[in-house]
């Protein structure tokens, strides 16, 4: 399904106007294709009287150096762009294949024209993520590291970037690989006792090895939720009845005037979504329309429906009430919608005389008094959000973080099978029963790093990448 015999090409920088855009080729014909469209050196030195280049131009490219020249259409002798070209021979490249990068002017037309020339002269348009896929298939990185490439591109905070960089560096893969190797050694012993039952195989107590592997997997899983938070962020719905200061709170957390704020109830008619970096957490704030029991306004009803949907999908709810007014029935009704979801009760308008008595409202939630207008209590609210999200846990820098739900699920599956194998061994069951669960655990760990990944799984993972990466 995946061919490594051809050469693929793609634009590897965002489409649009910019200083530089890059067309990348990787594969065995990369240098040959370049020789058909690239003329090195100054234009005047290699052009005829009409400014047209003669192709092919002789190439003598020093690897890993930039070479100045022009991309030329061999059919028309038309100069397409003034470029800098780098040639990187295998195996010391991103894909472990020959790689050519053509640094063009960052406009849509020159990049498209250069890409078309590479395709016309033997390259194939790369599929999404295919260059990183080749890096995986050629053994430069494992599957977990390949997924980290996408996490780096999508990182929204320095903390999420740091987690992705560590995964790309192989920190998580090394730990999983060590556990998997330990289990493979145990499995080899078990299979030997099964296949050569009549031989005198020395007894080996595999209990300590199974126990060590179990504890290491439990430790990885214990940190998984925090790693996923850094990677995906926390969807946080700001909810409450109209005119309690939800949009003002959004603006205060963003430190900018993003939402329209007026004294008129019902100003917000739709959900508004923005992301803020809160102590390394990508906090996805969703400002919602005020929730009321009934309204004759069709647009307002639609906004309320979207507010309810945003609350249902949120990981965290900030229930905002107006501290300068007595508690209203709508506050209690919205609190009932929050239910047992992780939440913080935000008592707004602390700069005014307080009349609200929120006792009994969201008893499980922490309460913070703020003034979205003056900024009073904002730091306390941010601290409460972090503590609620992480439940008071802080993972040290020495611990590798699992940041992918896919990895978490596979680790949980591996641990389940490992515990079953451990139980079977402790009960003195036959080696066959222990080996069955142990094999399943090894396969689950192999899906994380790619040793046992199927083509369908690879297709699913790399389809999420952009073309050119």
Tell me how far apart the alpha carbons of residues 294 and 306 are, in angstroms, rounded to a whole number: 15
Please enumerate in sequence order all residues whose Cβ is within 8 A of that of 67, keeping only pairs 6 or more positions apart, or say none.
Answer: 40, 61, 84, 85, 86, 87
Conformational region of residue 225, where left means phi above 0, alpha means psi within -120 to 50, and beta covers everything else: alpha
User: What tens digit of pLDDT does each residue of 20-43 get?
Assistant: 999 999 999 999 999 999 999 875
Tell me how far apart the alpha carbons of residues 347 and 324 are, in angstroms, rounded to a whole number: 9
158-168 vs 224-232: helix crossing angle, rounded to 10: 120
pTM of the predicted model over 0.75: yes
Number of other residues whose CB lies within 10 A of the CB of residue 263: 6
User: What tens digit of pLDDT does each residue of 365-419 get?
Assistant: 899 999 988 989 999 999 999 988 887 554 545 568 899 999 999 999 999 999 9
Q: Specify the 3-state DSSP secondary structure of 365.
A: coil
Counting other chains too, the contacts that 72-77 makes at CB distance below 8 Å and 24 or more residues apart are: 72/37, 72/38, 72/39, 73/37, 73/113, 73/117, 74/36, 74/37, 74/121, 77/52, 77/53
Nearest Cα to Cα of residue 118 among 42, 38, 58, 12: 38
User: What tens digit of pLDDT does each residue of 215-239 get?
Assistant: 999 999 988 888 888 888 888 888 8
What CATH number was assigned to the domain covering residues 8-140?
A: 3.30.1360.120
Nearest Cα to Cα of residue 167 among 145, 141, 136: 145
DSSP 8-class letter at 53: B
- Who has greater pLDDT, 312 or 419? 419
CATH topology of domain 230-390: Rossmann fold (3.40.50)
HSE-CB of 168 using CA atoms within 13 angstroms: 17
| Domain spans, the chain | 8-140, 146-223+400-450, 230-390
End-to-end CA distance of the chain: 19
- CATH homologous superfamily of domain 146-223+400-450? tRNA modification GTPase MnmE domain 2 (1.20.120.430)
Which of 118-127, 280-289, 371-380 has the highest mean predicted lDDT (pLDDT)?
Answer: 118-127
Q: Report the range of poorest mean pLDDT among 10-14, 99-103, 287-291.
A: 287-291
Please enumerate in sequence order all residues whose Cβ is within 8 A of that of 273, keeping only pairs 6 or more positions apart, or say none.
Answer: 284, 285, 286, 287
> What mean pLDDT comes out for the span 414-443?
94
Counting other chains too, the contacts that 43-46 makes at CB distance below 8 Å and 24 or more residues apart are: 43/70, 43/79, 43/82
């Amino acid at each position: 399904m995946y061919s490594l015999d051809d050469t693929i090409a793609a634009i590897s920088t965002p489409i649009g106007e910019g200083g530089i855009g890059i067309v990348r080729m990787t594969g065995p014909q990369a240098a040959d294709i370049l020789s058909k469209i690239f003329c090195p050196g100054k234009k005047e030195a290699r052009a005829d009287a009409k400014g047209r280049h003669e192709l092919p131009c002789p190439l003598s490219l020093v690897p890993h150096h930039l070479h100045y020249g022009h991309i030329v259409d061999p059919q028309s002798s038309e100069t397409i762009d003034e470029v800098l070209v780098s040639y990187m021979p295998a195996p010391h490249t991103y894909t472990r294949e020959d790689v050519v990068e053509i640094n063009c002017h960052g406009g849509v037309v020159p990049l498209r024209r250069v890409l078309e020339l590479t395709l016309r002269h033997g390259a194939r348009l790369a599929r999404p993520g295919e260059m990183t896929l080749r890096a995986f298939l050629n053994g430069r990185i494992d599957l977990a590291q390949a997924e980290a490439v996408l996490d780096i591109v999508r990182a929204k905070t320095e903390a999420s970037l740091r987690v992705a960089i560590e995964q790309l560096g192989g920190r998580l893969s090394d730990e999983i690989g060590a556990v998997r190797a330990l289990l493979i050694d145990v499995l080899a012993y078990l299979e030997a006792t099964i296949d050569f039952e009549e031989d005198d195989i020395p007894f080996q107590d595999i209990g300590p090895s199974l126990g060590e592997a179990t504890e290491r997997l439990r430790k990885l899983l214990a940190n998984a939720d925090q790693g996923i938070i850094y990677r995906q962020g926390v969807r946080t719905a700001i909810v409450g009845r109209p005119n309690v200061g939800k949009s003002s709170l959004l603006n205060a957390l963003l430190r900018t005037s993003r939402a329209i704020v007026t004294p008129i109830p019902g100003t917000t008619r739709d959900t508004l979504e923005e992301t803020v970096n809160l102590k390394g957490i990508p906090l996805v704030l969703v400002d919602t329309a005020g929730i009321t029991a009934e309204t004759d306004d069709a647009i307002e009803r639609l906004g309320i429906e979207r507010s309810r949907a945003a609350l249902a999908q949120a990981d965290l709810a900030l229930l905002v009430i107006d501290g300068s007014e007595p508690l209203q029935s709508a506050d209690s009704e919205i609190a009932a919608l929050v239910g047992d979801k992780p939440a913080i009760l935000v008592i707004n308008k602390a700069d005014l005389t307080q009349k609200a008595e929120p006792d009994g409202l969201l008893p499980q939630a922490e309460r913070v008094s703020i003034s979205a207008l003056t900024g009073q209590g904002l730091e306390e609210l941010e601290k409460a959000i972090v503590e609620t999200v992480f439940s008071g846990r802080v993972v040290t820098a020495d611990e590798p973080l699992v940041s992918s739900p896919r990895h978490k699920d596979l680790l949980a599956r591996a641990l389940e099978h490992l515990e079953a194998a451990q139980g079977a061994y402790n009960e003195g069951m036959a080696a066959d029963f222990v080996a069955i669960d142990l094999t399943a655990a090894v396969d689950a760990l192999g899906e994380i790093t790619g040793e046992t990944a199927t083509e369908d799984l690879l297709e699913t993972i790399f389809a999420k990448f952009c073309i050119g990466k």
